[in-house]
Amino acid sequence: MKLDRRGFLAAGAAAALLRPGVAQAVSPLNLGADAADRGIVFGSAFDREIFDDTAYAALLRAQCRIGSLENSLKFDWLKPTGNVADFSASDRLVDFAVESGIRPRGTALIWNDWLPDWLKWTTVLERRSIMEKHIDEVVGRYAGRVQSWDVVNEPFFPPHGIDGGYRKGLWLDAMGPDYIIHAFKRAAAADPKAQLVLNEAFCEQDDELGKSIRPLLLNEVKRLQDAGVKLDAIGFEAHLRPELPYDDQAFVAYVAEIAALGVDVMITELDVNDSHMPDDEAERDAQVAARVHDFLGAVLQVPRVTTVITWHLSDRYSWYRGADWYADQVRAGGGTPGRPVRSHLYDDQLQPKAAAFAARDALKASGPH
Ligand code: G3I
């Protein structure tokens, strides 16, 4: 069921009543509980902002049952200058999650993007042992506490022009596509009970990029399974860009095809890029809410979609904020660069927007998972 713009404007108005100083006309949300009622785990990305922003920490505690460390468990954040990890921030963040009843998850153990300069100067022979050491020490350190890992992030990017459509990078250079198999087997050995996830971007899109990655990822699931890999789930990031082509039902059919291979499916980084929407915030909020509702309403038709994680809960910590490429997108969309981001469920003041109610409605309308 698609809610029309009027429906979302009404929801937006209801959300506005939650602003400080205005009587709360609607009950507070509990997205984690609403999701759990349908067998779905709901959460969000978070990171070091919670050390000082106690209000945001409280919002995460109130709404989330799972939480991805946005950056602090990434290779370049743990080992920025050399092959020795600094776990000081990640330890605090994992402690926060566990103490808050939020299942912490790590992203990304191995990723061919965003790698520190020092790794570029290592030989391809050294990198296999560097990968093994990394996985052993990071997964091993948090065994039993970090219950889910994006073991390999974004394995495919056909525009790189590499055989098989793989994303180019230092790990691929060192081991070929089998870096993926090796990473998963190493992670399973380091924590046999952890959920091991292969996480991918763009597949939600019905454009050339999204349609080119889907078959590659489907075949990779089969390849990993044939290699005896413990692959528990596929993560679809869902950084939605409404100005691009989407066919949600075609994506749902693809998700069902992936699930039919015997893996769970996770929505791992949900947000709605509002760059090509009008400057008017009420209009943007309505459009973001409509997209959240339609996308979740579609994808939650698949029973094996077990998890929905937003890429931050609030505009306050959006990865779009201050990004030059996002300002360029806003300009290209006819908007005013520098305008506040409105891409997430909660606003800068940590108040729920129409998108938060849209997510709640989609979760509550979902069948059992
Ligand atoms: O703010 C500092 C700046 O002061 C410094 O000069 C600069 C030097 O590199 O770094 C800046 O921090 C960067 C931060 O983004 C700014 O927001 C970090 O280096 C950079 O690592 C970080 O990028 C993160 C990106 O992944 C790469 O790890 C984003 O926070 C994070 O939201 C983004 O998340 C990714 C997922 O992991 C995978 N899927 C796509 C998603 C969005 O790109």
**Residue 167's CATH number:** 3.20.20.80
121-150: b (≥16 Cβ within 10 Å) or e: eeeeeebeebbeebbeebbebbeeebbbbb
**Which residue owns the Cα nearest ligand 1 atom 43?**
319
What pLDDT is attached to residue 74?
98
Q: How far is CA 317 from CA 49, 202, 349, in A?
A: 8, 22, 11
**Ligand 1 centroid vs 118 CA: distance in angstroms?**
18
The answer, yes or no, to whether residue 348 has pLDDT greater than 60, is yes
**What is d(CA 276, CA 19) in angstroms, rounded to the nearest whole number?**
26
The answer, yes or no, to whether residue 7 has pLDDT greater than 90, is no
Ligand 1 atom, smallest distance to 107 CA: 37
**Ligand 1 centroid vs 70 CA: distance in angstroms?**
9
Ligand 1 atom, smallest distance to 108 CA: 37
**Ligand 1 centroid vs 12 CA: distance in angstroms?**
30
The count of structural domains within the chain is 1
**Ligand 1 centroid vs 111 CA: distance in angstroms?**
13
E-assigned strand segments in the chain: 41-46, 66-69, 103-106, 110-111, 148-153, 195-200, 233-236, 239-240, 264-272, 305-310
**Which residue owns the Cα nearest ligand 1 atom 38?**
153
> SS3 for 154-184, per residue?
CCECHHHCCHHHECCCHHHHHHCCHHHHHHH
What pLDDT is attached to residue 4?
54
**Ligand 1 centroid vs 71 CA: distance in angstroms?**
7
Owning domain of residue 148: 5-365
Ligand 1 atom, smallest distance to 201 CA: 39
**Ligand 1 centroid vs 271 CA: distance in angstroms?**
16
Enter the pTM of the model: 0.93
**Which residue owns the Cα nearest ligand 1 atom 30?**
319
Nearest to 359 by CA among 281, 302, 317, 299: 299
Ligand 1, pocket residues at CB < 6 Å: 70-71, 74, 107-108, 114, 153, 201, 237, 269, 319
Ligand 1 atom, smallest distance to 269 CA: 39
Query: Which percentage of the chain shows pLDDT scores above 90?
Result: 92
**Which residue owns the Cα nearest ligand 1 atom 11?**
323
Ligand 1 atom, smallest distance to 71 CA: 28
- pLDDT tens digits, one per residue of 88-135: 999 999 999 999 999 999 999 999 999 999 999 999 999 999 999 999
Tokens of 185: 């087997």
| 28 pLDDT tier (thresholds 50, 70, 90) | confident
DSSP string, 69-112: ESSTTSHHHHSSSSSS---HHHHHHHHHHHHTT-EEEE--SEES
User: Rounded to 10 degrees, what is the CA torsion of 33, 104, 270, 19?
Assistant: 60
